[in-house]
Amino acid sequence: MTTPPPFKAAILMNAVPAESTPLLDDAFKTTFATCITQASPDAQVDSFDPIEAQVYPEAGEYDLIVLSGGTADAMAKDITWILKLQDFLRTTVERCPSQKIVGICWGHQTINIAFGGTVGDSDHAEIGVYPVTLTPNGQTFFTTSLPSETHYNIHQFHEREVKTRGKGFIALAENNQCFVNAANTILTLQGHPEMSVELSKMLLEDVPKYLDVEEVERKALEDRVEREHDGMAIWKRIVRWTGEV
């Protein structure tokens, strides 16, 4: 009997490099790989740098392409690597229409922008584990995948949000938190299913610097990031979804 090839995932790491973040970069790569291999044992997970190296995975050679989170302004019109990434998305959909793509946080925002949506500042930064309410379409999409039929709990770490969805995208959750496109090939989530308590606490070290969160709020934030979440259940659903038409 022929052994099926291993599941292959490509991660586009979209966090802007900085001297203070090499440990975070490594932690994110490790966390993505851990989540995907738990969902699909023996999976091959490769990471790509769209910012400096501007190297992209070959569409069709991977079961899944994942756009990670990041801190750059996804709506910027003068940042070359962001515009190039948006072109990559549109070209991939055109040339390889069956390619499965997932966008997480910044990736969620960028995918929606690439297909005609808009992103803007949130009323406040959202950090820690929050419940996300599913729409009827979302309940169908995630049926039997989550502990709850009505919502999922997920790590959030963002200060911008999707204001208008991309053309042809269907809401799976309320408040523009999760979408799938009509072709069922692109899935986007504002939250971080890959995030762990340890990784979230590492990110908290930078919160006062770029999210303007006061030190007095840190204890409440630390309590929130330690709440139970459904990240692994979401990853298992994502892996199953890659095999769906």
Beta carbons of 126 and 75 less than 8 angstroms apart? no
| Closest of 38, 45, 100 to residue 236, by C-alpha | 38
44-48 and 169-171 as β-strands: parallel, antiparallel, unpaired?
A: unpaired
Q: Match 């979408």 to its residue by tokens.
A: 179
- Say if residues 203 and 213 touch (Cβ distance below 8 Å): no
| Tokens, residue 4 | 């099926």
One-letter amino acid of 63:
D
For the four alpha carbons of 41, 45, 199 and 165, in that order, the dihedral sign comes to negative
- Residues known to be catalytic: 105, 192, 194
Comparing CA positions, the residue from 89, 5, 76 lying closest to residue 50 is: 89
What the block records as the tokens of 138 is 């979302």
**Rounded to an integer, what distance in angstroms lies between the CA atom of residue 181 and that of residue 186?**
5
